[in-house]
Structure 1
Amino acid sequence: MNKIPVLIFVILSTLLLSSCATPPPKNPENLCEIFREHRDWYFAAKDARDRWGTPIHVPMSMMYQESSFRNDALPPRDYLLGFIPWGRVSTAYGYSQAKTMTWKDYIRETGNSGADRDDFDDAVDFMAWFIFKTNKINRVSKWDGYNQYLNYHEGWGGFQRKSYVKKQWLMKVARKVDNRARRYSGQLKSCEAELNESSLWRWLFG
């Protein structure tokens, strides 16, 4: 007899959580529109920039490519014998499509033990951290969207081995990421003052 109230509670909790999920931005091609729609994302990206010295437009362009700004994004399924579902092709998950092992490295190095891959604040900080590390390890400029994305996709060792050279499709995607980052940069310059003036909004709702 007590099972019914418990079941109702579980259903209501599930509906509440699903309703709280942040939807992808309506206009992902315009960084100003993204941040106007999700104002807290701007402050999270700004905090990551201040922490890691990473320009906002580069991780945002990479995130668009990786997940289309979906918090629960997953890689394609893997299939056994070509037709039997057999898990996923990698452990990537969330806004940043960070793999489990790399995410654990980020948590260990930053001490951000409560970080979640489906949380935008944590995801953008992770990507800024990765860009920072790429600059240190492989001497790639933090503003170089093309080579930063190649590092992000292939890993630091893969980039050193130039594994991307045999992947023409990947180099095309990296160029696409870089071009978008350049557009994002120009767009952000036109609205950043407006976004910064909304600090009261952050104080009230952040």
Structure 2
Amino acid sequence: MLKKLIALVMVMQLAGCATNPPSNPDNLCDIFYEKPDWYDAAVETRERWGVPVQIPMAIMYQESRFKYDAQPPMEYFLWIIPIGRASDAYGYSQAKTPVWGEYQDDAGGMFAERDDFEDAIDFVGWYMNRTAKINKVSKWDAYAQYLNYHEGQGGYRRGSYKSKPWLTQVARKVEARSKRYGEQYWGCKDDLAQGWFWSVF
């Protein structure tokens, strides 16, 4: 009975921290060591959409800091009366409702959810793949991929980002983070692929 109780507590603890952001979001290896299911989802996204692991992860860090229920801040009238949020973006990927619906219809299925990490990273891979097809942007070009992600493929073609110096700065941050993530991943990908967690037992 005691063993069953301890096992139940452990499961509940794991379930409770499953949706928490990683404790060290600046290191991709640490993220995947802490959340091996995220690693599995990232690899599946790479294999399905041909995108490097580090770029969807860098985009999601920028968009939500890996918070499953992230939303744009509430806006207020006269600093007191809440009038709603700037957009209906939600979840890890901060996907908006219309484009999430397109993803569900095209690739994700009707049960895909924005606060599910596996669905969210698959969405980013799908969007990057669409950007590559529509605007001929390399899947390895984190800077241009993020501009497409933020502005939409049509906005990117129109050059909407050119009048937003703050956005190009953010895109450079995403690019820098993706490079850092890529370097980190190179150093641990073999361990991750071999199943580091089970190898310690």
TM range (shorter): 0.7 to 0.9
Question: Where does residue 132 of structure 1 map in the other structure?
Answer: 129
Identity %: 55
* Match 2:63 to one of 53, 66, 82: 66
* Match 1:108 to one of 99, 105, 109: 105
Q: Is the 8 A contact 2:108 2:123 kept in 1?
A: no
How far apart are the structure 2 equivalents of 1:105 and 1:152? 14
* Match 2:177 to one of 165, 173, 180: 180
Question: Where does residue 193 of structure 1 map in the other structure?
Answer: 190
Unaligned runs of 5+ in 1: 1-14, 202-206
How far apart are the structure 1 equivalents of 2:41 and 2:165? 34
Shift of 1:84: 1.6
How far apart are the structure 2 equivalents of 1:40 and 1:197? 14
Q: Which runs of 4+ in 1 moved over 4 A?
A: none
Shift of 1:82: 4.8
Summarize the alignment of residues 1-206 of structure 1 with structure 2, pairs less than 5 Å apart.
19=16, 21-198=18-195
Q: TM-score, length-normalised on structure 2?
A: 0.88
| SS of 2:82 mapped into structure 1 | strand
* More off after superposition, 81-90 vs 64-73: 81-90
CA RMSD of aligned residues (A): 1.9
Shift of 1:83: 3.6
| SS of 1:79 mapped into structure 2 | strand
Shift of 1:199: 8.0
How far apart are the structure 2 equivalents of 1:35 and 1:181? 15
Shift of 1:80: 3.1
| SS of 1:87 mapped into structure 2 | strand
Q: TM-score, length-normalised on structure 1?
A: 0.86
- Return the letter of the residue paired with 2:23: K
- Return the letter of the residue paired with 2:67: R
Structure-2 change in CA distance of 1:111 and 1:177 (3 Å): closer
Say how many residue pairs are matched.
187
